[in-house]
């Protein structure tokens, strides 16, 4: 039984040359294939479609983000207006309460005055 014989340099060089030649023939056969052009045009068309879809999706996201920002600003404005209304109503209530208290105080004062005049 003889041992494993390792290929020498020339054998390896010939094997590499044969492999390169086979790869080149395979490549030439692929490029000569008429269906290759169709596949490439389909591939580029799909790539263009994907880019268009991605651009549309990004535009929709930007539009959605803009709408959300506008809604947030509108909600903030409405909250500020509501707070201002509450503050104004509170001030008006205070003035009405002060006016009622003044009327009551004036009535008590007038009642005291009229009691002291009777005597």
Cα gap 89→75, rounded to integer Å: 21
Hey, what are 19's tokens?
């492999």
- Is the separation of the CB atoms in 14 and 6 below 8 Å? no
Cα gap 76→72, rounded to integer Å: 6
List, for residues 55-113, the tens digit of each pLDDT value: 999 999 999 999 999 999 999 999 999 999 888 888 888 888 999 999 999 999 988 88
Between 61 and 37, the higher pLDDT residue: 61
What pLDDT is recorded for position 117? Answer: 67
Q: Mean pLDDT in the chain?
A: 89
Q: Where are the domains of the chain?
A: 10-118
What pLDDT is recorded for position 35? Answer: 86
Q: What is the pTM of this model?
A: 0.45
- Is the separation of the CB atoms in 22 and 30 below 8 Å? no
Hey, what are 18's tokens?
């044969």
């Amino acid at each position: 039984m003889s041992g494993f014989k390792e290929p020498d340099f020339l054998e390896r060089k010939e094997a590499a040359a044969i492999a390169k030649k086979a790869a080149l023939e395979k490549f030439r056969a692929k490029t000569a294939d008429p269906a290759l052009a169709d596949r490439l045009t389909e591939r580029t068309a799909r790539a263009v479609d994907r880019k268009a879809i991605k651009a549309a999706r990004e535009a929709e996201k930007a539009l959605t983000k803009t709408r959300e920002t506008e809604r947030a600003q509108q909600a903030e404005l409405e909250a500020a207006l509501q707070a201002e209304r509450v503050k104004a109503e509170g001030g008006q209530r205070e003035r009405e309460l002060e006016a009622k208290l003044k009327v009551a105080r004036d009535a008590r004062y007038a009642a005291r005055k009229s009691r002291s005049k009777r005597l």
